[in-house]
Structure 1
Amino acid sequence: MTLTRPETAATPPETDAAPPPRPEYPRPDRDRSERWVNLNGRWDFEADGHEGPITVPFAWESEASGVHRTWLERGVYRRTVTAPADWAGSRVVLSFGAVHHRAVVRVDGALVGEHVGGYESFEFDVTEALTPGVSAELEVSVTAPADKRAIPHGKQRSIPRDDYDGVSFTPTSGIWQTVWLEARGRTYARSVALRGDSLTGIDIAVDLAGDAPEGAEVTATVLGTGETAALTADGSGHATGRIELAEPLLWSPERPHLYRVEVRTGDDRVVAATGLRHFETRGEELHLNGERIYLRGVLDQGYWPDTGLTAPDAASLLRELELARGLGYNLVRKHLKFEEPLWLHEADRTGMLVWAEPAAPSRFSPEAAAAFEAQLPAMVERDGNHPSIVIWGLYNEEWGLDWDIPGSAARAEAAVHAYERLRELDDTRPIVENSGWSHVRTDLVDWHYYEPKLAVWKDFVARLAAGERDDFPVRLAPDFVVDKSLYGSAEVPRSGIPIVNSEYGEGFTSLERAWHLRWETQELRRHDRYAGYVYTEFADVEHEAAGLLDTWRRPKDWGGARPADVNADTVLVLDLVPLAAGADIEPPTGPLALDVHVSHHGRDSVSGAVHAAWLPAGTPVGVPVPKPEVSSGPVTAEPFRLSSAATITVPPPSGPARLLLWLADESGRVLARSFLDAAEVEPPNRRGARPGEFEDAPAPGHAWQPIAFDDS
């Protein structure tokens, strides 16, 4: 069932003849699909005031689960399970993709384990409790507090309400990712870590479990080439080694080459995947495999209608990456959620960069900070092999730190400690300790800024790039505005670290949002100091209508804008402050002179001329382009350096019209496109308004919007 339109989005009730929901093997990146049993489907479920069936792996709040109840704090799942008889002699492992928040697991009444943490994958060796060929009752008791303030919960709504409740959504409680059984060898690889950061070989670390991990021999073989490394486990069952590659092939978005590594220990076999790639900061630049790269990202919260944090099916989940790429993005910031390994593997396979980050609590305490950090080992162990993940995020906008890093040494130390803990776990990726502002220990200085007035946006972006200011007002609630700085500590250098805008976007309607996308992104591209951006956001979620796509992942009305043009390697930058959505300029009564620059982020320079032609108002912008009315002289754009201005002067149109602008090389190939809408601007009707009522009103969006600042 692919999510394509509302009437097909809900998961149908399972029948005896129907396959279970989410039937695919959930770990293609760590493949044991030769011997596994999917436990999704109908389970028995009991909760306060409810008893009946539930469909796993959908949260009990979701319509797809069949329960559709919010604020249940406890639930008990039961079903009969049978491991195949031919698994006799193997070890049997019970795996959970994710359960929110505390899970206690029993087989035939005997406790086999418990786990705390709503986003992490976990597993229990149930060999002694589950006999192959013999049925047993599996019971999972789940506690999911309504008061989530002290536990990592991301965008899930809490009672009492979080400070950021206005941008929170329906909770996702209980089992919300696939549950399955696997057969493994008597001594088996519990985890396999692969790193290709050297670009010449694959570093391997294997942790063994089972009968005899101490001193066990491990063989790692690259499938397809046969290159092999022999490893021997130490006294704790930990084995390390390296496979040198004679002809290494690097992983990049253009050529996402993956290596599949077979790891064998006795009768155990698992195939893990990784790529050779090195992502680093060099001064204020980002480099992938030694070449400068610019991040063109989109924020994706990973919520779905009717199924919450769980994708309704694999096809819909994987299509997300195709859609993001079609919008022109080369990176997805997966917001406050460990996304499924299936999605991460598809990002690896197709070459999409990923900014990954855990969920956060909402109120600070030592216990909440400890719970936040407790996720990090599981995050790195499960997802660290993915070459697509190029940035680790930690806290977001001081959520879980009470918006008060600058005023609290304890809160600042919590962010620093989280950074240092993650750096201990993985030293191969840049880390952002507190996305948005108030940085105290970070490899990227990122900033979140929402500004409805484009003239103010243009001015702020320029001043920030020039280092003239580093603070900005942020509206955290309707009656709560604070001044935030990029820096929460004097120890963070004011230069020499890459600067990335990781949240921006504005507008009430889809037309306004597309208009802001065009013009705000243009101003970011104007300044070569920036290393990238992340637009907010990919798709709508519940009441939040900030997406380029609606909640069903359908395109909205963008008013002629083409996100793929806005986010291309090569774009046009116009020296103009537009007036309004649908009316960038008033229809000129005389010749219109316009300066146009080229921003280019390819490997080689580009050259051509800027052309322009008037089209009837609302004409779609695309290829083929019309015959130009006017053309500029030659213009050349060097990589990552804004070109000098090319001036064009166009005659006036006869009335409202759309001015198409494009850059084409000598062969006529179109390299970049933009447009201007010329139309009358209708002054807004504010009759009867209170004085000042509309001046500082927040616009709907991902977060409370900042008011404009005035330096006069």
Structure 2
Amino acid sequence: MLKPRPTATRELVNLDGLWKFATAATVGESPWAGPLDTPLEAPVPASYNDLFTDSAIRDHVGWVWYQRTVRVPRGWDGERVVLRVDAATHEGRVYVDDVLVAEHVGGYTPFEADITEHVGAGQEFRLTVGVNNELTTTTIPPGRITVDQTGRRKQTYLHDFYNYAGLARSVWLYSVPALHVEDITVVTGLDSTTGTVEYEVETSEAATVRVRVLDATGAEVCAGEGASGTLRIENVTPWRPGAAYLYELVAEIVDGDAIRDTYALPFGVRTVEVRGSRFLINGEPFYFTGFGKHEDTAVRGKGHDDAYLVHDFQLMEWTGANSFRTAHYPYAEEVMDFADRHGIVVIDETAAVGLNLAVEAGLLGTPPRPTFSPETFHDATRDAHAQAIRELIARDKNHPSVVMWCIANEPSSNEEGAREYFEPLVELTRKLDPTRPVTYTAVMFATSDNDRIADLFDVICINRYYGWYIATGDLAAAEQYMEGDLRGWAEKFGRPLLMSEYGADTLPGLHSVWDQPWTEEYQAAYLAASHRAFDRIEAVVGEQVWNFADFQTSHGIHRVDGNRKGVFTRDRKPKAAAYELQRRWRGLGGRKPSSEK
């Protein structure tokens, strides 16, 4: 799915701003059938949960409604008119006046509808978007709805971040010609100093297609005819971590001398490969340094914000980070575009977090239930998971910053049924994109001895909290446990190992001369002990601290105003650990630290 862009043949209108807003409990059964009767307004993009002082809105389970009036530009006569929602968490319905034009399940990927038959150039229409935040055993991420003694519906879920909901990303209206480019796929390679560009252009109907590749100055460096083919860029400038270089592939539908449609796709020329226990970008070993992150800020929730986007990337650069994982869902496309332009490496993750009922049992003190069964997570869950993978790859396949697909976070990979659940999903991912490695992140309960799925993947990402949840306050023991754990994975599987999570909750301003958990000194010492263990394991190809910044979670006595494992506070102030990371990462330059025997 192509991101909407204005071109010589296309126009784009952003529909962000203040919309009328209401929960389903305060409006009639068909709120799209007329003007929304509500005094409330909500900004788009933003999660709605923290905007209002009414706890009934914050805790609402079910549908909410957004509405505004839209005018189609009068110059769009004869064009196709498309409405696009960048995300509706976790289910969306879109109405043009009284007509349902689009439905979508999945909270972090875009969907759109051609509304040409329902609107007219220069005319206004009423746009209503319903958003449902419910999670079930057949949604990704999963959850469960319960009803208490008062009849109030409650949402429980299995992930440790707040279930923010609403229109957290932009809404667009755009035009395309009747005959237009629908999709483009680009796969790049390197042949010495020559870049190869395999391309495929999909059009709305049979058409004559030509393509041109422009360099960063706008100069044409190669061209071709036909909807698919391979181009060669002589003396290519590759896209490299920390040194981004982008070309543009301009796809044109032509009719004689006339251009019927044109679309310019930015791309970078680079290769990704796993060779033995090494991770290679452009044939060179790469060592990941960075973070697991969240789209999370005060008031906005998961609402995309360009100011935070710029500042977060600045802070990552300040620490010496070269990468991040989109924990635990696809991020806004603006984030991916920014990573492309600035040379930051991305591990792109689906929203499949919480496929692990052992964690639920541990947190709630309830008897464990099997994770994979007809009563828990089953074929319908896997179908939803497969659709999430399809949509993620369709959206992000052309981003040079994306070097790996992560199809799940901390699933119960040690349980019976895990292999039957995941093997078809790994096969699907490879079929959709054979050019990138595939990974998942292993939870603490999954060890090299009992994990049932690690051999299916190219890279094994490992989440470990020795020194925090295990061996709390004993960093000498934690370092030994970490090293022994990693050696087990390296010796059994012979694959690259990436530390995708390790961290300790920390209250800014709390200090001690001893190894006291929750202090800033302990967080820094915890990281240093973990790093010593990583450096002794040759197969470790990177480290991504959990987490970049403190973030909001659901209610729980084990959290104080959210998860405090951030190296930065929620408002992006550095803790002492940020300086510890800066000292380590700035001099690495994407290379593995020398081993300490």
Same fold (TM over 0.5): yes
Q: Against the structure 1 CA distance between its residues 113 and 340, is the aligned structure 2 distance closer, same or farther, given a 3 Å change threshold? A: same
Partner of 1:501: 499
State the distance in 1 between where 2:420 and 2:528 align: 39
Is 1:100 aligned to 2:118, yes or no?
no
Partner of 1:225: 219
Secondary structure of the 2:64 match is strand
State the distance in 2 between where 1:509 and 1:156 align: 35
State the distance in 2 between where 1:353 and 1:129 align: 42
> Structure 2 residue aligned with 1:523, among 527, 533, 536?
533
Secondary structure of the 1:463 match is helix
Tell me the CA shift for residue 434 of structure 1.
4.6
Structure 1 portions without partners, runs of 5+: 1-26, 233-238, 471-485, 487-492, 571-599, 603-638, 645-712
Partner of 1:556: 575
Deviates more, 1:431-440 or 1:258-267: 431-440
Is 1:565 aligned to 2:583, yes or no?
yes
Kindly name which structure, 1 or 2, has the bigger radius of gyration based on alpha carbons: 1
Partner of 1:73: 62
Partner of 2:116: 127
1:555-587 residue CA offsets vs partner (Å, 9 max, x unmatched): 1244x94321122344xxxxxxxxxxxxxxxxx
Deviates more, 1:94-103 or 1:71-80: 71-80
- Write 1 or 2 for the structure with the bigger share of helix: 2
Secondary structure of the 1:42 match is strand
> Structure 2 residue aligned with 1:513, among 523, 532, 535?
523
State the AA in 2 paired with 1:273: P
Aligned residue pairs, count:
508
Is 1:270 aligned to 2:232, yes or no?
no
State the distance in 2 between where 1:550 and 1:127 align: 46
State the AA in 2 paired with 1:450: Y
Is 1:345 aligned to 2:334, yes or no?
no
Q: Quick check: 2:214–2:248 contact (8 Å CA) kept in 1?
A: yes
Q: Against the structure 1 CA distance between its residues 348 and 156, is the aligned structure 2 distance closer, same or farther, given a 3 Å change threshold? A: farther
Q: Against the structure 1 CA distance between its residues 361 and 286, is the aligned structure 2 distance closer, same or farther, given a 3 Å change threshold? A: closer
Q: Against the structure 1 CA distance between its residues 152 and 163, is the aligned structure 2 distance closer, same or farther, given a 3 Å change threshold? A: closer
Q: Quick check: 2:143–2:157 contact (8 Å CA) kept in 1?
A: no
State the distance in 2 between where 1:49 and 1:457 align: 50
Secondary structure of the 2:157 match is coil
Partner of 1:372: 385
Structure 2 portions without partners, runs of 5+: 27-37, 147-153, 254-258, 355-375, 468-473, 505-516, 553-561
Partner of 2:176: 184
Secondary structure of the 1:307 match is coil
Partner of 2:185: 193
Tell me the CA shift for residue 495 of structure 1.
3.8
Secondary structure of the 1:269 match is strand
Q: Quick check: 1:74–1:141 contact (8 Å CA) kept in 2?
A: yes
Partner of 2:49: 61
Tell me the CA shift for residue 46 of structure 1.
3.1
Q: Quick check: 1:433–1:441 contact (8 Å CA) kept in 2?
A: no
State the AA in 1 paired with 2:239: W
Partner of 1:463: 484
Q: Quick check: 1:601–1:640 contact (8 Å CA) kept in 2?
A: no
1:646-684 residue CA offsets vs partner (Å, 9 max, x unmatched): xxxxxxxxxxxxxxxxxxxxxxxxxxxxxxxxxxxxxxx
State the AA in 2 paired with 1:259: Y
TM-score by length of 2: 0.79
Partner of 2:364: none
Is 1:291 aligned to 2:284, yes or no?
yes
Q: Quick check: 2:319–2:586 contact (8 Å CA) kept in 1?
A: no
1:604-650 residue CA offsets vs partner (Å, 9 max, x unmatched): xxxxxxxxxxxxxxxxxxxxxxxxxxxxxxxxxxx764378xxxxxx
- Write out aligned runs for 1:44-443 (5 A): 44-50=20-26, 51=38, 52-63=40-51, 69-145=58-134, 147-153=135-141, 159-164=154-159, 167-169=160-162, 171-198=163-190, 200-209=195-204, 213-222=205-214, 224-232=218-226, 239-265=227-253, 266-311=259-304, 313-360=305-352, 362=354, 364-398=377-411, 403=412, 405-409=413-417, 411-436=418-443, 437=446, 438=451, 439-443=454-458
Q: Against the structure 1 CA distance between its residues 155 and 455, is the aligned structure 2 distance closer, same or farther, given a 3 Å change threshold? A: farther
Between the two structures, name the one with larger relative contact order (CA 8 Å, sep ≥ 6).
Answer: 2
State the distance in 1 between where 2:190 and 2:397 align: 15
1:438-479 residue CA offsets vs partner (Å, 9 max, x unmatched): 3241101222211112222322333345x4x45xxxxxxxxx
Tell me the CA shift for residue 341 of structure 1.
1.3
Q: Against the structure 1 CA distance between its residues 243 and 254, is the aligned structure 2 distance closer, same or farther, given a 3 Å change threshold? A: same
State the distance in 1 between where 2:221 and 2:245 align: 16
Q: Quick check: 2:49–2:59 contact (8 Å CA) kept in 1?
A: yes
Percent of matched pairs sharing the same residue = 24
- Write out aligned runs for 1:589-604 (5 A): 602=591
Tell me the CA shift for residue 32 of structure 1.
2.3
Q: Quick check: 1:296–1:567 contact (8 Å CA) kept in 2?
A: yes
Tell me the CA shift for residue 388 of structure 1.
0.7
Q: Quick check: 1:514–1:548 contact (8 Å CA) kept in 2?
A: no
Q: Against the structure 1 CA distance between its residues 416 and 65, is the aligned structure 2 distance closer, same or farther, given a 3 Å change threshold? A: farther
Partner of 1:473: none
State the AA in 1 paired with 2:476: A
Tell me the CA shift for residue 381 of structure 1.
1.6
Q: Quick check: 2:136–2:142 contact (8 Å CA) kept in 1?
A: no
State the AA in 1 paired with 2:434: D
Q: Quick check: 2:353–2:409 contact (8 Å CA) kept in 1?
A: no
State the distance in 1 between where 2:164 and 2:130 align: 16
Q: Against the structure 1 CA distance between its residues 63 and 46, is the aligned structure 2 distance closer, same or farther, given a 3 Å change threshold? A: closer
State the distance in 2 between where 1:111 and 1:346 align: 34
State the distance in 1 between where 2:521 and 2:322 align: 23
Partner of 1:444: 459
Tell me the CA shift for residue 48 of structure 1.
3.1
State the distance in 2 between where 1:263 and 1:156 align: 45
- Write out aligned runs for 1:660-675 (5 A): none
> Structure 1 residue aligned with 2:595, among 642, 662, 680?
642
State the distance in 1 between where 2:530 and 2:203 align: 51
State the distance in 2 between where 1:381 and 1:540 align: 31
Q: Quick check: 2:288–2:543 contact (8 Å CA) kept in 1?
A: yes
Could you say what the CA RMSD is over the residues aligned between the two structures, in angstroms?
A: 2.7
Q: Quick check: 2:441–2:463 contact (8 Å CA) kept in 1?
A: no
State the distance in 1 between where 2:143 and 2:285 align: 33
1:675-702 residue CA offsets vs partner (Å, 9 max, x unmatched): xxxxxxxxxxxxxxxxxxxxxxxxxxxx
Q: Quick check: 1:220–1:229 contact (8 Å CA) kept in 2?
A: yes
1:351-399 residue CA offsets vs partner (Å, 9 max, x unmatched): 111111011264512111111110122211211111111111011111x
1:35-80 residue CA offsets vs partner (Å, 9 max, x unmatched): 2111111222332344332222222213189995332411222221
1:491-511 residue CA offsets vs partner (Å, 9 max, x unmatched): xx8243112221112342333
State the AA in 1 paired with 2:461: D
Tell me the CA shift for residue 214 of structure 1.
2.0
State the distance in 2 between where 1:119 and 1:60 align: 15
- Write out aligned runs for 1:38-49 (5 A): 38-49=14-25
State the distance in 2 between where 1:111 and 1:208 align: 26
Secondary structure of the 1:281 match is strand
State the distance in 2 between where 1:500 and 1:414 align: 23
Q: Quick check: 1:279–1:390 contact (8 Å CA) kept in 2?
A: yes
State the distance in 2 between where 1:327 and 1:149 align: 39
State the AA in 2 paired with 1:535: V
Q: Against the structure 1 CA distance between its residues 219 and 291, is the aligned structure 2 distance closer, same or farther, given a 3 Å change threshold? A: closer
TM-score by length of 1: 0.67
Tell me the CA shift for residue 308 of structure 1.
1.4
